[in-house]
């Protein structure tokens, strides 16, 4: 397994050989590179970085390595401990820190961990800055501080509560309507920090919360990616408890999936669609999602008189396009909600509050709300990569074959057909090629996906 270095951070599996996995040496190396990049941004004498982690078993070890490396560079570290990715982003803003690092591999299985790197705005590094961090790491360009100039370490608690307060203060979060709706909700937090944050938020909103896998011990009871095939337990419990809906978050709480009252999936693609419908109904404006996201957001945006734009995959790409087009809401079809009134980062706490506000004021059930949106069906597949596979050659070949269609190549290859599309790209977070398709029926989406999987496999041979 090789380390994956991308705009989504530095991630790999724990253990193994240096340079081939996320070993302690690699954690120190990339933390030091980030620290040097930070110090090169300005001539300031004092720098502070916010450090937080999800509940992964390896989190404490990696966090300790990263924190002490920064201290060795003369950078002050504020460790907020068990936290969420959006909470660290908010903490950077609240504390006016110079940057932040979240120790999390997001939706990856428990053997993975990663360093997600933030700038002084609490946003992910852009491509240029990320490349500079990698350049420093490759050239061992570190200069550590002498003993009298070491950074200071301090722990600060209660940032999840501060984050919740920020969410509750958002103008479009209708606390009274949510409380009056008397919602009963089941929460699956895959035994990570969502088990701290989401129930605490729901308590403030007056929502009855039934906890499922909310113990932040890092022992994931199922694959942590919030996809339908991994969510059978919560689907059954929602029906058994006669709950109004189920809420599912990934280990670092930047992806939000929902379960209808009958146990069916609301659809992670439709989390953003529903929140955007609510926001656009109150605030006129534009939206952005990535190329792998559903056309349903485009339809809802046009319905409200706004303009829809599509970016390359990756949160930083979505954020850049949102800023360029003054989008009032955006995100990714994996259940990531970005609401600029809060901050420019995917945030499941914000998503939960906006969705419950929408559900409460619409007077509809979760299933009825889902049925009110255009029906598109997606097929999400992957092909495992090996060092011998040249992804660029494969994708260029497919782009050439379909050059008479509407082809977009800003991120892999997306081919828009009249009633469906396919997006083929190398993942930023795993050694795989992703094959996403969308069509007007599940059967046709699956058929389109299988067609391109066959074409890719034939190219590999």
Question: Which residues neighbour 261 within 8 Å (Cβ) at sequence distance 6 or greater?
Answer: 238, 239, 242, 243, 244, 245, 365, 366, 367
The model's pTM is: 0.93
Q: Which fold has domain 4-157?
A: Alpha-D-Glucose-1,6-Bisphosphate; Chain A, domain 3 (3.40.120)
Region 437-442: mean pLDDT is 96
What is the pLDDT at residue 8? 65
H or E element, residue 212: strand 208-212
Residue 228: pLDDT over 70: yes
Q: Tell me 229's DSSP state.
A: G
Question: Which residues neighbour 390 within 8 Å (Cβ) at sequence distance 6 or greater?
Answer: none
What would the pLDDT profile of 265-323 be if each residue is shown by its tens digit? Answer: 999 999 999 999 999 999 999 999 999 999 999 999 999 999 999 999 989 999 999 99
CA 46-122-31 angle, to 5 degrees, is 60
**CATH 3.30.450.20 correct for 377-460:** no
Residue 314 C-beta-side C-alpha neighbours within 13 Å: 24
Report DSSP letters for 113-152, one per residue.
EEEEEE-TTS-B--HHHHHHHHHHHHTT---PPPGGG---
Adjacent-strand bridge partners of 440:
none
From-to residues of CATH 3.30.310.50 in the chain = 377-460
What is the pLDDT at residue 141? 85
For residues 298 and 376, what is the distance between their CA atoms, to the nearest angstrom?
12
What is the pLDDT at residue 212? 98
What is the pLDDT at residue 140? 87
What is the pLDDT at residue 275? 98
What is the pLDDT at residue 227? 86
For residues 77 and 301, what is the distance between their CA atoms, to the nearest angstrom?
42
Express as a percent the part of the chain with pLDDT over 70. Answer: 99
For residues 433 and 386, what is the distance between their CA atoms, to the nearest angstrom?
10
On the 0-12 / 13-18 / 19+ scale of CB atoms within 10 A, 223 is middle
What is the pLDDT at residue 432? 86
CA 87-88-90 angle, to 5 degrees, is 65
Question: Which residues neighbour 140 within 8 Å (Cβ) at sequence distance 6 or greater?
Answer: none
Judge contact between 75 and 151, C-beta under 8 A: yes
What is the pLDDT at residue 2? 65
Region 202-212: mean pLDDT is 98
**Per-residue tokens: 44:** 């300031």
Region 10-20: mean pLDDT is 93
For residues 425 and 11, what is the distance between their CA atoms, to the nearest angstrom?
18
What is the pLDDT at residue 387? 74
Q: Which residues of 99-123 are buried (b: 16+ CB within 10 A; e: fewer)?
A: bbbbbbbbbbebbbbbbbbbbbebb
Question: Which residues neighbour 214 within 8 Å (Cβ) at sequence distance 6 or greater?
Answer: 187, 188, 189, 191, 194, 195, 196, 198, 199
From-to residues of CATH 3.40.120.10 in the chain = 4-157, 163-371
On the 0-12 / 13-18 / 19+ scale of CB atoms within 10 A, 331 is buried
What would the pLDDT profile of 232-255 be if each residue is shown by its tens digit? Answer: 999 999 999 999 999 999 999 999
For residues 74 and 212, what is the distance between their CA atoms, to the nearest angstrom?
42
What is the pLDDT at residue 461? 66
Judge contact between 400 and 420, C-beta under 8 A: no
What is the pLDDT at residue 7? 64
Residue 460: pLDDT over 80: no
For residues 351 and 106, what is the distance between their CA atoms, to the nearest angstrom?
17
Average pLDDT, the chain: 95
What is the pLDDT at residue 391? 87
Q: Which residues of 394-427 are buried (b: 16+ CB within 10 A; e: fewer)?
A: bbeebbeebeeeeebeebbbbbbeeebbbbbbbb
420: nearest Cα among 455, 444, 453, 403: 444
In terms of DSSP bridges, do strands 327-332 and 336-338 run parallel, antiparallel, or are they unpaired?
antiparallel
Residue 1: pLDDT over 70: no
Q: Domain spanning 163-371 has what CATH number?
A: 3.40.120.10
What is the pLDDT at residue 431? 78
On the 0-12 / 13-18 / 19+ scale of CB atoms within 10 A, 454 is exposed
């Amino acid at each position: 397994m090789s380390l994956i270095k991308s705009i989504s951070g530095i991630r790999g599996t724990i253990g193994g050989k240096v340079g081939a996995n996320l070993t302690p040496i690699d954690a120190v190396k990339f933390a030091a590179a980030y620290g040097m990049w930070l110090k090169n941004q300005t001539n300031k004498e004092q720098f502070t970085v916010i450090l937080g982690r999800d509940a992964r078993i390896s989190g404490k070890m990696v966090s300790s390595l990263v924190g002490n490396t920064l201290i060795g560079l003369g950078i002050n570290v504020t460790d907020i401990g068990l936290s969420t990715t959006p909470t660290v982003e908010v903490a950077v803003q609240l504390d006016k820190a110079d940057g932040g690092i979240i120790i999390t591999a997001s939706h990856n299985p428990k053997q993975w961990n990663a360093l997600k790197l933030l700038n002084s705005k609490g946003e992910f590094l852009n491509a240029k800055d990320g490349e500079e961090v990698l350049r420093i790491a490759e050239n061992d360009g570190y200069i550590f501080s002498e003993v009298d100039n070491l950074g200071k370490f301090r722990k600060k608690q209660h940032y999840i509560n501060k984050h919740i307060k920020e969410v509750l203060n958002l103008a479009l979060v209708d606390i009274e309507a949510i409380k009056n709706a008397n919602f009963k909700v089941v929460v699956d937090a895959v035994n990570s920090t969502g088990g701290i944050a989401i129930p605490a938020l729901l308590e403030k909103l007056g929502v009855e919360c039934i906890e499922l896998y909310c113990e932040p011990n890092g022992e994931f009871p199922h694959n942590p990616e919030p996809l339908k095939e991994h969510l059978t337990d919560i689907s059954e419990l929602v029906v058994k408890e006669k709950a109004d809906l189920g809420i599912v978050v990934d280990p670092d709480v930047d992806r939000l999936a929902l379960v209808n009252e009958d146990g069916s999936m609301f659809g992670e693609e439709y989390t953003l669609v529903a929140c955007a419908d609510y926001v656009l109904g109150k605030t006129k404006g534009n939206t952005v999602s990535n190329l792998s996201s559903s056309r349903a957001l485009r339809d809802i945006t046009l319905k409200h008189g706004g303009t829809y734009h599509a970016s390359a995959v990756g949160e930083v790409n979505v954020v850049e396009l949102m800023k360029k087009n003054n989008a009032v809401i955006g995100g990714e079809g994996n259940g990531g909600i970005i609401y600029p009134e809060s901050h420019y980062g995917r945030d499941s706490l914000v998503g939960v509050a906006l969705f419950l506000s929408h559900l409460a004021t619409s007077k509809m059930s979760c299933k009825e709300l889902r049925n009110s949106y255009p029906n598109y069906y997606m097929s999400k597949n992957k092909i495992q990569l090996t060092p011998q596979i040249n992804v660029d050659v494969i994708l260029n070949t497919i782009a050439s074959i379909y050059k008479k269609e509407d082809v977009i190549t800003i991120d892999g290859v997306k081919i828009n057909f009249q009633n469906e599309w396919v997006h083929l790209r190398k993942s930023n977070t795993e050694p795989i090629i992703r094959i996403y398709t969308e069509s007007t029926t599940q059967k046709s989406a699956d058929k389109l996906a299988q067609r391109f999987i066959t074409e890719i496999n034939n190219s590999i041979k």
